[in-house]
Amino acid sequence: MLRTLPSVAARRPWRSAFSIIAGALLVIGCTDSIVTPTRTEPTPVPPAGPVSMQLTCVASVQSGSVSCSTPATPAGVRGAVTYGGQNQYVKLTSTNVTFDAGTRIMGADVTLQNLLPQIIGSLDSATVHPNGIRVFYASGPTTSDPGTVTVRNPDGTETFLSSPAPYYQWSQALRTNAVSSVKRWEWNVGAGVNTFTFSVYVQTEVTPTLVITEIMANPSAVDDSVGEYIEVYNPGLATVDLSGYRIVSRSGSSTEQVTIASGVTLASRAYGVIAARSNTARNGGVTAIAEWGGTAIQLSNSTSATAPDYVAMRRPSVAPGTFFTMDSVGWAPVGTTTAPPTGRTRELLDVKADNTHMSSAAWNTGYTKYGIGDGNGDFDRGTPGAPNGVLVAPGPVVLVRISPGFAVIDTLNQFRRFSAFPEDSLGQTASTTITWATDNPAIATIDQTGLVTHVDTGQVHITATASNGVADTTLYSIFKYSPASIYRNHVEFGVPVTGLPNDNNNIVILSDRRTHYNLSYNASRGGPNWVSWNLNRTQFGKIPRAPTFYTDPLLVSYGAYQVTTCDYTGSGYTRGHMVQSEQRTQTRAENDTTFLMTNILPQTNELNTGPWGDLEEYGNELARFHQKEIYNVAGGTWPASPQYLTTTCGNANRVQIPTTTWKVMVIMPYGQGLADVTSASSVRVIAVDMPNTFTANSQPWTAYKVTVDQIEAITGYDLLAALPDAIEAAVESSIDP
């Protein structure tokens, strides 16, 4: 059996891989948008389950038309975010709308087009599901006119929401962009009825899709039995549960196969590595979602003109005990002999290309060093778990993400900038024009650069819309600020590490020298070992973000090199705050301290403005509007072989790049601290360890939750040492639910 890796945090998928996915009725002339639910408290877990869009439709007897729009969320109702976007998932088109005044039958010809990058109406891409593709009446038809309206010709009825509902069914499986056959929809329209309304859903099974995108068959920095791997990519819009999948390989004259155990998932538009071994200290530094156990599969280096080696991903089919092949890659076509390169992967350049043969022009030899190498300067090359060396041309926008995902602020007459990230179906940045809007200019306005101007206190919805109508909406809350900051003990639950010499790699700065946070600075790495700080509602004010970054004057007495902002210029990495700028905004002096380079670690933009920034905003909302006292500690982890920023300033080997950045948050009611902890239930502890990669934003921050014990094992720190031992053991071994 392929084993689930115990070191990887349990993922919370954005959407269920094989659950029924619902879509909207998108009739000619229809529009829809994102409906943001009413929210009374922060919701850390992204919505799971079906992608759902509902539209309310109005049929006019007089004009012979059907038009639809997204209904508003009822006041006080809380539910999952609705992912909208005209023509985003499916498209239903109505033509030939007729009304017979004698029989009073109204009808329309309807076709359905699949816009997903996956087959719908089938679980295995070949067999049509018994339910096919169904369009359910979620409510109606109803009318305010005299008389009644009924559905005349449904294909059946079934309990869909809470009561039996009629539906139309296409007994078809549709590939991407395929259009169904015509189905006639008809209604019995009573006398006196001029218009009527109804709401519908599209409900269908979706075939999961996986693409084999990279193969390391012959590592040189480590042995084959620990360093071989395959990389798979999920281009779909739903997380794929790999439980029960098989990896099958032909190696020479024999065929090998292993079955993936439960608990292994691959998120939408994410890459996942399945490796011979998962231990990163032995396998060359590859982070894997599962392992096949050494030599259970051997990606042979031999060649054969009659039976070339191959590797395949197979999924359980509808019939018990049967499997179908989702993707398969051979070393070479029959009749040719091609061996994989030594110490380098073969990478698929275009995930939409024909990847049948690894020797074809669709594949490239990996050139990027990865992992920890062999300790003697030899590195294997490839891009395990990340996009390959050459990306395909971006396609049309199918998703827009606003960053931050939700935001709160307690300052008036100041500004806040939002960013929008349009993506194509592969998760690549797509070219488009973004239009910004707020739904209440009396509270806040926004210009077309995403800059928000605060007018009053309250809440507004901010929407970013791409030129093709795909949109995202976020809720923005503005409240009054507190008159003065209150700082409690920044190391309330213990100094993360003690007993080390106070040398240039452990320059400890506590509250006697810096009021606003504590830290340990590592001059060799050019950044903090850890930063610890208290957070509560009083520390948020109206001071705008500092205009620049500063060297830390406290380093002068140590004779340590003072990192400057220039040491990051042109590196491709952002200056990632540990203590966020927004968390110190009562005075200019307080905000300036967050821009000292001793508070900064290199982060990819995808991490800094993605899950890391979203977690920061989540903590800010807890502190400001839910009366929480939060004790934070954060830092980085580093590879055994240091990797340094390469800048345009000419400074070499000054700032090391962390492999991950981690954070632990101890959350308590406002004003409480260590003395108030009487049991494990007295505190809520969130621990995360986020990869410092250019694909970190493919997951929500909740996907990176780990235990405190895991962070301590990686760093060697004792993070909550001040807690009573029994309580410390309980909270450090649990993952925040």
3-state SS track over 41-64: CCCCCCCCCCCCCCEEEEEECCCC
Round to whole Å and give the CA distance between 124 and 137. Answer: 27
The dihedrals phi and psi of 302, each to the nearest 5 degrees, come to: -80, 165
Burial class (CB in 10 A: 0-12, 13-18, 19+), 363: buried
Whether the per-residue pLDDT at 74 is higher than 60: the answer is no
Q: Is 577 a catalytic residue?
A: yes
* Average pLDDT rounded to a whole number, residues 257-275: 88
Whether the per-residue pLDDT at 208 is higher than 90: the answer is no
Token pair in block for residue 327? 């993707």
Round to whole Å and give the CA distance between 673 and 679. Answer: 13
pLDDT score at 24: 31
Number of Cβ atoms within 10 Å of the Cβ of 353? 14
Contact 381, 219 (CB under 8 A): no
Across 247-251, 285-289, 329-333, 401-405, least confident range: 401-405
Round to whole Å and give the CA distance between 346 and 361. Answer: 11
Whether the per-residue pLDDT at 436 is higher than 90: the answer is yes
pLDDT score at 176: 82
Structure confidence by residue, pLDDT tens digits, 549-564: 999 988 888 888 889 9
Label residue 724 by pLDDT band (50, 70, 90).
Answer: very high
This prediction's pTM: 0.43
Mean pLDDT of the chain: 80
Round to whole Å and give the CA distance between 364 and 312. Answer: 19
Label residue 305 by pLDDT band (50, 70, 90).
Answer: low
**Given the DSSP bridges, would you call strands 271-275 and 290-291 parallel, antiparallel or unpaired?**
parallel
Number of Cβ atoms within 10 Å of the Cβ of 601? 26
Whether the per-residue pLDDT at 520 is higher than 90: the answer is yes
Contact 638, 662 (CB under 8 A): no
Q: What angle do CA 411, 607, 415 make, to 5 degrees?
A: 20
Label residue 377 by pLDDT band (50, 70, 90).
Answer: low
Number of Cβ atoms within 10 Å of the Cβ of 733? 12
The 8-class DSSP code of residue 704 comes to G
Of the candidates 129, 357, 454, 577, the residue annotated as catalytic is 577
Round to whole Å and give the CA distance between 237 and 135. Answer: 20
Round to whole Å and give the CA distance between 719 and 728. Answer: 10
Round to whole Å and give the CA distance between 72 and 508. Answer: 54
Helix (H) or strand (E) holding 607: helix 605-608
Structure confidence by residue, pLDDT tens digits, 85-95: 334 577 778 88
Across 57-66, 484-493, 498-507, 705-714, least confident range: 57-66
Round to whole Å and give the CA distance between 450 and 433. Answer: 12
Contact 40, 78 (CB under 8 A): yes
Q: Pick the more confident residue, 265 or 392.
A: 265
* Average pLDDT rounded to a whole number, residues 539-545: 85
Q: Which residue has the tokens 């499916």?
A: 90
In 3D, which of 295, 238, 283 has the Cα closest to residue 265? 238
pLDDT score at 46: 28
pLDDT score at 252: 58
Cis peptide before 154 (omega within 30 of 0): no
Ranked by mean pLDDT, the top range of 1-5, 77-81, 100-104 is: 100-104
Structure confidence by residue, pLDDT tens digits, 140-166: 899 989 999 999 999 998 876 667 889
| Residue 296 CB partners (closer than 8 Å, separation 6+) | 256, 258
* Average pLDDT rounded to a whole number, residues 646-666: 89
